[in-house]
Amino acid sequence: MRRLAIGRSLALLAVGGGLFAFGSPVEAQDDEPPPVDVLQVSGLFDEIVVSAIDDAIERSDESGAQALVLQVNSRGAVIGRDAMRDLLERIGAAPIPVALWVGPSGARLYGTPAQLLTVADVTGMADGARVGHTGVPLSPNGDPIDLGAGASALRGGSVGLSNARELDLFKQRVSDLGVPTITSMVNALDGYEEGGVVLETTTERTLDDGDVRRDTTAIVRFSKLALADQLFHTVASPAVAYLLLLTGLALLVFEFFTAGVGIAGFVGAICLLLSATGLAALPARGWAVGMLVAAAVAFAVDVQVGLPRFWTGLGIALTAIASVLLYESLPGATLRPSWITLIAGVGGMALAFLVGMPSMVRTRFATPTIGRDWLIGELGRVEVAVDPDGVVSVGDGRWRARTNRATPVAAGEEVRVVAIDGVTLEVEPLIGAARDHRERRAKH
């Protein structure tokens, strides 16, 4: 994980920013029960999420909170089994009660993070949420996790609320109707006892019609990842890391074929740096990343002549194949970008290099004169050394040029145009120039 830490440090220096936590502590009044903290965790469990959970436990304990609720929506973990096992041990040994709520509706808790259900003190899930695909049980403190009657069902599949309730996965349930909201989850903490301390989060009140209503009395303090951590956690999501990689490669190719180093090159470098940080945390296939880089090189071959040809087609094919196979799968979840993301990535690259880049090159090195046949045989002066590619001035325009001989032509020397390939001129030095080209022009 050392390369991930280095990548995060470099990216943080590049984009700037600081660590700012969402929300601020709210002090409880003397006549009110201590507050309950809620940490919202979304996305794959990575080093950032694990660190945030550890910090939340420590912060809640030091600020006098009754308990910490982890609101989780995750499809797996990209950290190793040892790191996940250590997290389970720390949650099980936390100085304050730690609850786990899978919500809101539609949330998922897959992979090794689903084993948090066995170590959290109070657990629940919203209707429409699912848990499962736990894989091989971990062994915190040397004891294998016991998922009870649901072990076989959860190891290779997932269950919804009704099945999870039948398998008795939850602890300290509010009712058989599940836990639809975070407020219900806070109410579920009421009465839980640990170390001689009983949690007090709600109070019962009898209404005029005889019904009993439970009112939340504990202040609920929400928190999320700090801004910088949220940035790095976001770029470590499969779709974002993939799109950043393609964007960075396209911008660098664009910058290479324009004069000077400008905003496109800077933004492209930032995109590649952030993408590298995200890919380092994800189970990305190295050969697939290499294919995307090779595709950018293939695109660049045709960009220099201003015409989409074989190399452009090869680049599109490589991009499509690498995009689909970029990530390895996690238990119960595939990290392959969605079809919308794939269309945006592959389609965007195809559009850029079939239409955008060739038009840019033609505009950049075109002349106001209609037709280019007259250029054959014309003399020009080298602006950027042709070795074997460079830039020459012919007439009133600047053209990308390529020498038709092995000998490079230095800047400032005169050359003669002998052929045209798209918007690229094939030139040769005046000294030792082939007579057939001059004779051909004389006949015309």
Where is pLDDT greater, at 424 or 126? 126
Predicted pLDDT at 25: 44
Tokens in use for 348? 């965007």
12 falls within a domain: no
56 falls within a domain: yes
Task: List Cβ neighbours of 91 (8 Å cut-off, separation of 6 or more).
Answer: 53, 57, 98, 116, 119, 120
Do 441 and 376 form a contact (C-beta atoms < 8 A)?
yes
Least confident of 121-135, 296-310, 422-436: 422-436
CA dist., res. 314 & res. 296, Å (int):
10
Predicted pLDDT at 291: 96
On whether both 249 and 216 belong to a single domain, the answer is: no
Bridge partners, residue 416, by sequence = 379, 428
On whether both 46 and 195 belong to a single domain, the answer is: yes
What is the DSSP code (8-state) at residue 355?
I
Q: Which of 43-57, 211-225, 400-414 has the highest mean pLDDT?
A: 43-57
Say if residue 104 is preceded by a cis peptide, omega within 30 of 0: yes
Distance of CA 109 to the CA centre of its chain: 19
Do 243 and 349 form a contact (C-beta atoms < 8 A)?
no
On whether both 218 and 231 belong to a single domain, the answer is: no
Residue 389, pLDDT above cutoff 80 = yes
Predicted pLDDT at 13: 43
Task: List Cβ neighbours of 30 (8 Å cut-off, separation of 6 or more).
Answer: none
Predicted pLDDT at 15: 45
Tokens in use for 28? 């409880």
> Largest Cα–Cα distance in the chain?
110
Full-prediction pTM beyond 0.85? no
Do 437 and 376 form a contact (C-beta atoms < 8 A)?
yes
7 falls within a domain: no
The helix (H) or strand (E) run that includes residue 414 is strand 414-421
On whether both 246 and 359 belong to a single domain, the answer is: yes
Is the alpha carbon torsion for 93, 149, 165, 197 positive or negative? Answer: negative
Summarize the confidence of residues 395-412 as an average pLDDT. Answer: 80
CA dist., res. 20 & res. 224, Å (int):
10
In percent, how much of the chain has pLDDT > 90? 39
Predicted pLDDT at 435: 46
Summarize the confidence of residues 288-312 as an average pLDDT. Answer: 87
Q: What angle do CA 113, 119, 121 make, to 5 degrees?
A: 120
CA dist., res. 106 & res. 92, Å (int):
27
Q: What angle do CA 247, 52, 236 make, to 5 degrees?
A: 15
On whether both 55 and 118 belong to a single domain, the answer is: yes
Q: How confident is the model at residue 20 (pLDDT cuts 50, 70, 90)?
A: very low
On whether both 157 and 128 belong to a single domain, the answer is: yes
Least confident of 81-85, 386-390, 429-433, 435-439: 435-439
Closest CA to 99 of 134, 127, 124: 124
Summarize the confidence of residues 30-52 as an average pLDDT. Answer: 90
Q: How confident is the model at residue 57 (pLDDT cuts 50, 70, 90)?
A: very high
On whether both 234 and 218 belong to a single domain, the answer is: no
Summarize the confidence of residues 173-187 as an average pLDDT. Answer: 74
Q: How confident is the model at residue 317 (pLDDT cuts 50, 70, 90)?
A: very high
Distance of CA 25 to the CA centre of its chain: 30
- CATH number of the domain that 82 lies in? 3.90.226.10
Where is pLDDT greater, at 428 or 17? 428
Bridge partners, residue 389, by sequence = 402
For 403, counting Cβ atoms within 10 Å of its Cβ (0-12 exposed, 13-18 middle, 19+ buried), the class is buried
Residue 402, pLDDT above cutoff 90 = no
14 falls within a domain: no
Q: How confident is the model at residue 16 (pLDDT cuts 50, 70, 90)?
A: very low
- CATH number of the domain that 411 lies in? 2.40.50.140
CA dist., res. 58 & res. 61, Å (int):
5
Predicted pLDDT at 259: 55
Q: How confident is the model at residue 68 (pLDDT cuts 50, 70, 90)?
A: very high
Do 279 and 328 form a contact (C-beta atoms < 8 A)?
no
CA dist., res. 292 & res. 298, Å (int):
10
CA distances from 171 to 39, 152, 188, 213 (A): 19, 19, 9, 22
Task: List Cβ neighbours of 425 (8 Å cut-off, separation of 6 or more).
Answer: 375, 380, 392, 394, 399, 400, 401, 402, 417, 419
On whether both 397 and 327 belong to a single domain, the answer is: no
Residue 444, pLDDT above cutoff 80 = no
CA dist., res. 6 & res. 439, Å (int):
63
For the stretch 230-275, pLDDT in tens is: 999 999 999 999 999 999 999 988 887 765 557 888 899 999 999 9
In percent, how much of the chain has pLDDT > 70? 81
On whether both 354 and 416 belong to a single domain, the answer is: no
Domain, as residue range, for 122: 21-223
13 falls within a domain: no
On whether both 197 and 278 belong to a single domain, the answer is: no
CA dist., res. 26 & res. 220, Å (int):
9
CA dist., res. 89 & res. 439, Å (int):
86
Choose the final residue of a domain: 161, 192, 223. 223
For the stretch 198-225, pLDDT in tens is: 899 988 777 767 676 778 889 999 999 9
Residue 19, pLDDT above cutoff 70 = no
Cα Rg for the chain, rounded, in angstroms? 31
For the stretch 123-166, pLDDT in tens is: 999 989 999 998 888 888 888 787 777 777 888 889 998 888 88
Choose the final residue of a domain: 329, 345, 364. 364
Summarize the confidence of residues 429-439 as an average pLDDT. Answer: 56
Residue 437, pLDDT above cutoff 70 = no
Residue 29, pLDDT above cutoff 70 = no
On whether both 306 and 434 belong to a single domain, the answer is: no
Closest CA to 235 of 394, 44, 392: 44
Predicted pLDDT at 361: 65
Choose the final residue of a domain: 364, 386, 415. 364
On whether both 331 and 360 belong to a single domain, the answer is: yes
Q: DSSP string covering 50-110, please? A: HHHHHHHHHHHHHTT-SEEEEEEEBS-B-S-HHHHHHHHHHHHT-SS-EEEEE-STT-EEE
Residue 434, pLDDT above cutoff 80 = no
Closest CA to 134 of 160, 152, 122, 121: 152
* Domain total of the chain: 3
Mean pLDDT (the chain) is 82
